[in-house]
A and B are shown apart, each in its own frame.
Chain A
């Protein structure tokens, strides 16, 4: 029986290992989405087959906040979409795994995100095609909260309810931090629930680090027939590494030797060991 908490911890180790070896990446943004990805990929939410990435019936997951891709790489590698050894090559010359995901290079990646505000409307297009073609697949999009400052997010947010895309679920990684500071010091999104509800979405809130709560919510989409689904997942940026949690400066920082030792004490001494091929 798969212990999902253990899996989440493993994924956190993989994220740290991969980014530190690749000399640069977005650690805290990746850490905050681990439970969300665990629920989606490990708890019978997403319908997918690692070896059949072009299956037209597959559910699609789009990481619109593409800079958190290492979390997704860790999941896809673990699930067998590609060889685990590739994680050792992250960000290096010749690698298929870069700081933002490339749909042409990586099996399991549905959209080349990175520029914020693109993955979401791209997913809207896929959901729309699904409705028209009367297909049963669902589309799940993971948005960043800072990403909601992009105007294109709101164009898509207006569009989806108009076209009754209840096969579309958007999850917001509401960790309340962005690159330079807390969101409420820069551009506050509150009241976030009310905004999406006013746009015509059916909204739920959830503890973004509680795998059972997440699973329960995700299992119940569509919440209301004919309305697209919005899940506000309250998360902590940098979750899992105590000194990174909620600290903005860690957005694109790499831990030094001392800090790595601290991480090993928190997550396990094998955190930074190379992944066996």
Chain B
């Protein structure tokens, strides 16, 4: 995913001299070609994330389009006030890019994990947030970010994320993707963890549960429609994110559901339960140790699915099927 981002940035930089690549002393080797071919469009800020963001804002105020890249927890947290004041408040055209979403840096420990970044970025006005699930999608969001007139945060996993799309698709900012249609339950997920969800869905389908799988590549602005259609057409929703369940995708989906007459929906957020990610090992180990493995997902779905749908929910489902528009 990271290499797809850098390759997209390279293509952007080649066509537009205003595009800049900023790093905070990371990206050894992967940025080599960029640095070689566009030396005047690359700066290494050293281990000074806050300075990088403020300077990016100053550069953007002069018409540049800086992409400020470093590890996700550092770019969002070390420089949070800078993002809030210099980027969002002043609406400067800065693109923040965080690599290492979730706990994908699986043997580095929680200081290097990003499991609160969605929560704190989405509370900032004027911020657009992309959370791609695969290399192809990372490329698309990078191009989309350059088109957005204003602050953007892109949440990347890292190198080695598998591709989930067999074919190209039309990317639209704020429009979720239904990866798989289904009728019994909807799983709404974001980012690299989708690969694990896809695994789980295969097993669930084999056991006779029809799962709708939705990929949210744009956290902000959120695609309300795709969420509500899932609510009214399937009646059961599980959100999955490599992030705290507080304030991330799950909270966002809950907000949409509750304000749009979907009660009594069956709903659960799966993610980190207000804890720091724990342990070391491979990325797969981390998923298993932190409740985000394929089996955890399957387990949650089965629990949700077993609870019978009650009368009011079924009533809503039927009205929706008859074409009654239940939300605006």
Contact = CB atoms under 8 A, between A and B. Distances in A.
A159 B45 contact: yes
Contacts of A115: 81, 85
Which of A103, A114, A130 has the most B CB atoms < 10 Å from its CB? A103
A61 B82 CA distance: 20
A169 B57 CA distance: 19
A213 interface: no
Contact of B48 (A110, A132, A159): A159
B55 A128 contact: yes
Contacts of B89: 112
Interface in A77-130: 103-104, 110-112, 114-115, 118, 120-130
20 contacts: A118-B54, A118-B81, A118-B86, A120-B54, A121-B51, A121-B55, A122-B57, A124-B55, A124-B58, A125-B56, A125-B60, A125-B61, A126-B59, A127-B58, A128-B43, A152-B51, A155-B48, A158-B46, A159-B45, A159-B48
A124 B40 CA distance: 17
B101 interface: no
A127 B59 CA distance: 8
B64 interface: yes
Interface residues of A, number: 29
A156 interface: yes
Given A155-B48, A158-B51, 20 more contacts: A103-B90, A111-B61, A111-B90, A115-B81, A121-B55, A121-B82, A122-B58, A125-B54, A125-B57, A125-B59, A126-B59, A128-B55, A128-B58, A129-B64, A130-B62, A133-B62, A155-B51, A156-B51, A159-B48, A159-B51
Contacts of B62: 56, 125-126, 129-130, 133
B87 to A, nearest CB: 10
A104 B90 contact: yes
A126 B58 contact: yes
User: Which of A56, A104, A122 has the most CB atoms of chain B within a 10 A radius of its CB?
Assistant: A122
A132 B40 contact: yes
B50 interface: yes
Given A104-B90, A112-B89, A151-B50, A159 B55 contact: yes
Contacts of B58: 111, 121-129
Contacts of B63: 129
Nearest to A133: B62
Contacts of A121: 50-51, 54-55, 58, 82
Contacts of B55: 121-122, 124-125, 128, 156, 159
Contacts of A159: 45-46, 48, 51, 55
Contacts of B45: 159
Interface of A: 56, 103-104, 110-112, 114-115, 118, 120-130, 132-133, 151-152, 155-156, 158-159, 163
A126 B55 CA distance: 8
A15 to B, nearest CB: 25
Residue from B48, B55, B91 with most neighbouring chain A CB atoms (10 Å): B55
A122 B86 CA distance: 8
B61 A155 contact: no
B59 A118 contact: no
B62 to A, nearest CB: 4
A163 B43 CA distance: 10
A158 B48 contact: yes
What are the 3 A-B residue pairs with the smallest beta carbon separation, nearest first? A125-B58, A121-B54, A155-B51
Nearest to A103: B90
A124 B51 CA distance: 9
Counting chain A CB atoms within 10 Å of each CB, which of B45, B46, B81, B86 scores highest?
B86
Contacts of B85: 112, 114-115, 118
A118 B43 CA distance: 19
Interface in B224-264: none
A156 B60 CA distance: 17
Interface string B71-93: 00000000001100110011100
Nearest to B48: A155
Nearest to B53: A121
A175 B63 CA distance: 36
> Which of B45, B81, B89 is packed against the most chain A CB atoms within 10 Å?
B89
A129 B54 contact: no
A130 B61 CA distance: 11
Contacts of A158: 46, 48, 51
A261 to B, nearest CB: 40
A122 B64 CA distance: 13
B240 to A, nearest CB: 36
B58 to A, nearest CB: 2
